[in-house]
Amino acid sequence: MTKILGISGSLRKASFNTALLKAAKSVAPDDIEFETATLHGIPLYDGDVEAESGVPAAAADLKRKIMAADGVILFTPEYNNSMPGVFKNAIDWLSRPPADIRNVFGGRPFALAGASPGNFGTILSQNAWLAVMRTLGADLWSGKRLMLPKADTLFDSEGQLTDDQTRERLRGFVRAFADHVATVKA
Question: Smallest Cα–Cα separation from 139: which of 176, 102, 114, 170?
Answer: 102
The CATH H-level (homologous superfamily) assignment of domain 2-185 is Flavodoxin domain (3.40.50.360)
pTM: 0.97
Q: Who wins on pLDDT, 145 or 66?
A: 66
Residues 49-64 have pLDDT tens digits of 999 999 999 999 999 9
Percent of the chain topping pLDDT 90: 96
Sorted by sequence, the CB contacts under 8 Å of residue 39 that are 6+ apart come out as 7, 8, 9, 10, 11, 58, 62, 86, 87, 89, 90
Where do the domains of the chain lie?
2-185
DSSP the chain: -EEEEEEE----TT-HHHHHHHHHHHHS-TTEEEEEE--TTPPPP-HHHHHHH-S-HHHHHHHHHHHH-SEEEEE---BTTB--HHHHHHHHHHT-SGGGHHHHTTT-EEEEEEE-SSTTTTHHHHHHHHHHHHHHT-EE--S--EEESSGGGTB-TTS-B--HHHHHHHHHHHHHHHHHHHHHH-
Residues 89-137 have pLDDT tens digits of 999 999 999 999 999 999 999 999 999 999 989 999 999 999 999 999 9
Task: Judge whether residue 186 has pLDDT over 80.
Answer: no
Per-residue pLDDT band at 144 (split at 50, 70, 90): confident
Amino acid in position 18: T
- The reported pLDDT for the residue numbered 67 is 98
Per-residue pLDDT band at 151 (split at 50, 70, 90): very high
Sorted by sequence, the CB contacts under 8 Å of residue 142 that are 6+ apart come out as none
